[in-house]
């Protein structure tokens, strides 16, 4: 069987071209179109400061129907005022002229430096050029995936297929994200809730040829995002531009509406989103390893999530993981600062399969052996609170000197 | 006039000795005693995971009277179970035998690695030895100040004097803190509130010869801490051991009870605490500069504090400051993720006295000139929200490769 990719679901074409927005000569403008009106859902950053394309995208996706997305990397079009909004709309207009649809049927995205107006001459030319190179091959999918990257080292791609009745449905996605990563996306705009959003621009675009209605697609995307993209943090800095958008072409004629089919679809969507989210953690700025933090048997899911995030966001924990240092005190103390009920006397902390802390006391363990096992591409931290049924996993990466190098000199 | 120091207020003696707990041969056991029963107040970490000395200290300070404090560095006595509590009490017992008081009149503190039992043989010998070297000189004050340090490079000391009626009162303090710094101390134990505690062990000991009652001293210490120690963050990791304790000997016979005298005392206390807090930021692990973040005209003080903290805790902002990079988009976006109402269209961001963002749009400015001005020991970030009367200042430091070096290899 051929390798599945973003354009495997029937009905989609894409392109990625270099328009001169990024400094390095890599694709920086992407266009993904559906040849019919697709059911669409999207979640966006909850940062109070959100970019122009997020404002425009929120409005355009409301109808539940889109024909495509247009993206640029190298410039976030954030903190750019009214001109920024006009520019985001102009991106849609050009993409719409290619798709032969209304500009409100296009979702725009941007990622890159904040506070600079988009170089519209280059960008307009780039979108037009992308329109001339649209195609359905693996290579087209890869060029689109490459066009959305910024400080990412690798493309991030995932796909799966499954049966709905007797029909085969394909679901695929690409994403980007390396720095300013701590998404907390939601369907609504930035809420007044006390939820602390994290950061990094992460962008994700998903395609499927399932036939599904907008309300169900929204609900399933929101759930999948919470357990995937919203469970990744690199630097706990929720971006102004975070966006995940799914387009369902319906071209497979497989209708997802029964609760059984919805569950199947949800599982596939979550699988793809989790794979993409994991790839973000693995490609975090300066990362040498993924750290997968699971908090189990916490009072409830919210408590588990808060504790896992607190651990994941501690620079002390991240540095210890970088140095293969089984300094578990940092992990337990980080869990204690999540602001949720937590009794260290009851919990058990396991680091790379070795119990290091139990019943409020240190356990004798071979620190050198654990240190050797920490020298791995994936490290697991497991905190069993023995207090309830809440469970959550958060993925992060270690904190290296390379992270500082990348971020101390990004702008100038 | 001679230089004021921790032992300038009448009634106090101190010592610092090397007991072999730290790897490097620097003082690691400190003893500070008052020759009479002092009025005492203390604030402690709000981390749900708190060290044995914090548990014991909370109980001992409740009476509002103490004879002194005993401190060790190199081992935090945290996550050490019942044995840890016994060890903390034993520290008090030995100190009490020197002061000729009850063990409940001594407050114990520890700082260092989490999850290891205290080396009690060495420590007991150290406390006894400290008891033999007690004195009131500048040198004694410095040895005590040195004995509480861990990864700190410099001693942290501050002192002032003021008039209460016709009498002169002296107020002084020392502190430590370099990593695991993000204190959110309070009088009470860890509360169930949603306040997110930060981290790093910070310890502070303050002396005064004023005569003041316990309730007023508690109230003034809490207020001063909130605007000083609790406004510093290095790594947003609230320690298991954070403690700030003040002892008032009353030896000056200057009674602080009128609201005018209380205000004078409060101002002096805040001055000393702010100086100490600033020194913590300046000596943050790997720090090359202090970043002072002021958010003004926010909706209220809580909103201003949340936004200032969100900016201070963004690794992206901290790296940009390290690289002298006027990448202000990271600052505005960090403010937006504090989860409090914030309208970027109304705000004005000033970086080292240069306006870089206003009315939701970038401002033309000379990036090279601002970059040159960022290359300074103190950088000021000023965000005017034009939305209310709330104001807060938070101090942090930049994030350097040296931070990673220090923390990737602390344990092993």
Binned at pLDDT 50, 70 and 90, residue A235 comes out as: confident
Structure tokens that stand for B177 in this block: 């803190």
Q: Does B355 touch chain A (CB under 8 A)?
A: no
Structure tokens that stand for A45 in this block: 């950053």
- Cα separations (Å) of B100 from A132, B33, B37, B57, B109? 89, 10, 11, 18, 19
Q: Does B334 touch chain A (CB under 8 A)?
A: yes
pLDDT at A194: 32
Distance CA B285, CA B205 (A): 21
Residue A305 has pLDDT above 80, yes or no: yes
Q: Is B173 helix (H, G, I), strand (E, B) or coil?
A: strand
Q: Closest Cα to residue B398, out of B229, B305, B295, B281? A: B281
Structure tokens that stand for A138 in this block: 């693996």
DSSP B77: -
- Comparing CB atoms, the residue among A78, A313, A410 nearest residue B325 is A410
B168 Cβ partners below 8 Å, 6+ apart? B161, B162, B252, B254
Mean pLDDT of B193-203: 48
Highest mean pLDDT among A28-42, A147-161, B171-185: A28-42
DSSP B2: P
Q: Does A359 touch chain B (CB under 8 A)?
A: yes
Chain A segment 74-93 residues within 8 A of B by beta carbon are 76, 78-81, 83
Residue pair A213/A257 in contact by the 8 Å Cβ criterion: yes
Do A240 and B334 make contact, defined as CB atoms within 8 angstroms? no
Please tell me the number of Cα atoms within 13 Å of A49 on its side-chain side: 37
Binned at pLDDT 50, 70 and 90, residue A1 comes out as: low
DSSP string, B307-318: HHHHHHT-HHHH
Question: Which residues of B carry out catalysis?
Answer: 201
Residue B235 has pLDDT above 70, yes or no: yes
Mutate to test the interface with B, among A87, A316, A342 (most CBs of B within 10 A): A316
How many angstroms away from the CA of A148 is the closest CA of chain B?
Answer: 20
Do A401 and B401 make contact, defined as CB atoms within 8 angstroms? yes
A315 Cβ partners below 8 Å, 6+ apart? A399, B235, B236, B237, B315, B399, B403, B407
Structure tokens that stand for B266 in this block: 């409060």
- Comparing CB atoms, the residue among A78, A339, A400 nearest residue B195 is A339
A412 neighbourhood in chain B, CB within 8 Å: 323, 325-326, 367, 371
Mean pLDDT of A19-28: 90
Average confidence score pLDDT of chain B: 92
Do A237 and B337 make contact, defined as CB atoms within 8 angstroms? yes
- Comparing CB atoms, the residue among B46, B316, B362 nearest residue A235 is B316
- Its ipTM equals 0.88
- Cα separations (Å) of A96 from A65, A93, A245, A288? 14, 5, 17, 41
What does the radius of gyration of chain B's CA atoms come to, in whole angstroms?
21
| Secondary structure, 3-state, chain A | CCCCCCCCCCCEEEEEECCCCCCCCCCCEEEEEEEEEEEEEEEECCCCCCCHHHHHHHHHHCCCEEEEEEEEEEECCCCCHHHHHHHHHHHHHHHHHHHCCCHHHEEEEEEEECCCCCCHHHHHHHHHHHHHCCECCHHHHHHHHHHCCCCCCCCEEEEEEEEECCEEEEEEEEEECCCCCCCCCECCCCCCCCCCCCECCCEEEEEECCEECHHHHHHHHHHHHHCCHHHECCCCECCCCCEEEEEECCCCCCEECCHHHHHHHHHHHHHHHHHHHHHHHHCCCCCCCEEEEEEEEECCHHHHHHHHHHHHCCHHHHHHHHCCCCCHHHHHHHHHCCCCCCCCCCCEEEECCEEEEECCEECCCCHHHHHHHHCCCEEEEEEECCCCCEEEEEEEECCCHHHHHHHHCCCC
B344 neighbourhood in chain A, CB within 8 Å: 48-49, 79
DSSP B135: B
Distance CA A103, CA A119 (A): 20
How many angstroms away from the CA of B248 is the closest CA of chain A?
Answer: 31
Question: How many beta carbons lie within 10 A of that of residue B288, not counting itself?
Answer: 17
Closest-CA residue in chain A for B303?
Answer: A194
Q: Closest Cα to residue B180, out of B247, B232, B239, B123? A: B239
Q: Closest Cα to residue A380, out of A344, A360, A354? A: A354
Average confidence score pLDDT of chain A: 92
Binned at pLDDT 50, 70 and 90, residue A24 comes out as: confident
Chain B segment 179-238 residues within 8 A of A by beta carbon are 179-180, 190, 192-199, 235-238
Question: How many beta carbons lie within 10 A of that of residue B82, not counting itself?
Answer: 11
B368 Cβ partners below 8 Å, 6+ apart? none
Q: Which residues pair with B204 in a beta bridge?
A: B175, B244
Q: Closest Cα to residue A254, out of A313, A315, A212? A: A212
Structure tokens that stand for B252 in this block: 């000056």
Mean pLDDT of B226-230: 93
**% of chain A residues with pLDDT over 70:** 95
pLDDT at A334: 93
pTM: 0.90
Chain B segment 27-66 residues within 8 A of A by beta carbon are 46-50
Question: How many beta carbons lie within 10 A of that of residue A337, not counting itself?
Answer: 31
How many angstroms away from the CA of A352 is the closest CA of chain B?
Answer: 17
Residues B58-102: tens digit of each pLDDT: 999 999 999 999 999 999 999 999 999 999 999 999 999 999 999
Structure tokens that stand for B193 in this block: 């509130």
Closest-CA residue in chain B for A321?
Answer: B408
Residue A153: exposure state from Cβ atoms within 10 A (0-12, 13-18, ≥19): exposed
pLDDT at A288: 96
Distance CA B132, CA B157 (A): 23
How many angstroms away from the CA of B166 is the closest CA of chain A?
Answer: 46
In chain B, the largest separation of any two C-alpha atoms, in whole Å, equals 68
Q: What are phi and psi of A30, to 5 degrees?
A: -120, 145
Please tell me the number of Cα atoms within 13 Å of A330 on its side-chain side: 28
How many angstroms away from the CA of A147 is the closest CA of chain B?
Answer: 22
- Comparing CB atoms, the residue among B81, B322, B360 nearest residue A360 is B81
B137 Cβ partners below 8 Å, 6+ apart? B7
Residues A202-223: tens digit of each pLDDT: 999 999 999 999 999 999 999 9
pLDDT at B304: 96
Element (H, E) at B36: strand B29-44
Cα B66 to the center of its chain, rounded Å: 20
Distance CA A395, CA A380 (A): 9
Residue pair A80/A110 in contact by the 8 Å Cβ criterion: no
A359 neighbourhood in chain B, CB within 8 Å: 81
Q: Is B370 helix (H, G, I), strand (E, B) or coil?
A: helix
A85 neighbourhood in chain B, CB within 8 Å: none
Chain A segment 128-157 residues within 8 A of B by beta carbon are none
Residue pair A301/A261 in contact by the 8 Å Cβ criterion: no
Q: Does A361 touch chain B (CB under 8 A)?
A: yes
Residue A399 has pLDDT above 90, yes or no: yes
Q: Which residues pair with A208 in a beta bridge?
A: A171, A248
Q: Closest Cα to residue B245, out of B281, B211, B200, B214? A: B214
Mean pLDDT of A287-307: 96
Do B79 and A50 make contact, defined as CB atoms within 8 angstroms? no
Structure tokens that stand for A242 in this block: 């975070």
Residue A198 has pLDDT above 50, yes or no: no
Element (H, E) at B73: strand B65-75
DSSP string, B384-402: E--SSSEEEEEEEE---HH
Q: Which residues pair with A292 in a beta bridge?
A: A380, A395
Residues B323-373: tens digit of each pLDDT: 999 999 999 999 998 989 889 999 999 999 999 999 888 889 999 999 999
Do B50 and A328 make contact, defined as CB atoms within 8 angstroms? no
Distance CA A25, CA A39 (A): 34
Do B330 and A400 make contact, defined as CB atoms within 8 angstroms? no
Cα B371 to the center of its chain, rounded Å: 30
Binned at pLDDT 50, 70 and 90, residue B185 comes out as: confident
Residue A195 has pLDDT above 80, yes or no: no
Q: Is B58 helix (H, G, I), strand (E, B) or coil?
A: helix
Residue given tokens 């949603």 in the structure block? B194
Residue B196 has pLDDT above 60, yes or no: no
Residue given tokens 């005693």 in the structure block? B33
Q: Residue A365: which region, alpha, beta or left (left: phi > 0; alpha: psi -120 to 50)?
A: beta
Structure-model confidence comparison of residues B2 and B149, the more confident one: B149
Chain A segment 108-127 residues within 8 A of B by beta carbon are 113-117
Residues B3-53: tens digit of each pLDDT: 999 999 999 999 999 999 988 889 999 999 999 999 999 999 989 999 999
Alpha-carbon dihedral of residues A255, A257, A259, A263, nearest 10 degrees? Answer: 50
Q: Does A405 touch chain B (CB under 8 A)?
A: yes
């Amino acid at each position: 069987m051929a390798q599945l990719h973003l354009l495997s679901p029937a009905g989609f074409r894409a392109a990625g071209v270099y328009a001169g927005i990024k400094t390095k000569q890599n694709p920086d403008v992407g266009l993904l179109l559906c040849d019919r009106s697709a059911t669409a859902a999207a979640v966006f950053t909850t940062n109070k400061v959100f970019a122009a394309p997020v404002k425009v995208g929120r409005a355009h996706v409301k109808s539940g129907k889109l024909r495509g997305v247009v993206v640029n990397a190298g410039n976030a079009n954030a903190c750019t005022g009214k001109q920024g909004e006009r520019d985001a709309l102009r991106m849609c207009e050009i993409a719409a002229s290619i798709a032969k649809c209304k500009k409100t049927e296009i979702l725009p995205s941007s990622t890159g430096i904040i506070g600079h107006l988009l170089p519209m001459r280059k960008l307009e030319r780039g979108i037009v050029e992308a329109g001339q190179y649209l195609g359905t091959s693996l290579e087209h999918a890869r060029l689109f995936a490459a066009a959305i990257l910024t400080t990412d080292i690798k493309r991030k791609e995932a796909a799966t297929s499954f049966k709905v009745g007797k029909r085969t449905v394909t679901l695929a996605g690409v994403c980007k994200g390396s720095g300013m990563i701590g998404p907390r996306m939601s369907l609504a705009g930035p809420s007044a809730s006390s939820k602390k959003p994290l950061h990094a621009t992460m962008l994700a675009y998903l395609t499927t040829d399932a036939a599904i209605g907008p309300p169900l697609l929204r609900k399933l995307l929101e759930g999948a995002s919470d357990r995937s993209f919203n469970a990744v943090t690199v630097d706990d800095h929720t971006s102004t531009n975070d966006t995940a958008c799914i387009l369902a072409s319906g071209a497979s004629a497989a209708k997802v509406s029964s609760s059984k089919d919805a569950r199947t679809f949800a599982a596939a969507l979550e699988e793809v989103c989790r794979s993409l989210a994991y790839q973000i953690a693995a490609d975090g700025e300066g990362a040498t390893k993924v750290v997968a933090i699971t908090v189990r048997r916490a009072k409830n899911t919210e408590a588990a999530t808060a504790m896992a995030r607190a651990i994941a966001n501690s620079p002390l924990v991240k540095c210890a993981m970088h140095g293969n240092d089984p300094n578990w005190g940092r992990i337990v103390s980080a869990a204690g600062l999540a602001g949720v009920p937590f009794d260290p006397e009851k919990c058990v902390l396991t680091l790379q399969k070795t119990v290091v802390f139990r019943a409020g006391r240190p356990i004798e363990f071979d620190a050198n052996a654990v240190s050797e096992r920490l020298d791995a591409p994936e490290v697991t931290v497991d905190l069993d609170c023995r207090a309830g049924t809440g469970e959550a996993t958060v993925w992060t990466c270690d904190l290296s000197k390379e992270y500082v190098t990348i971020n101390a000199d990004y702008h100038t």
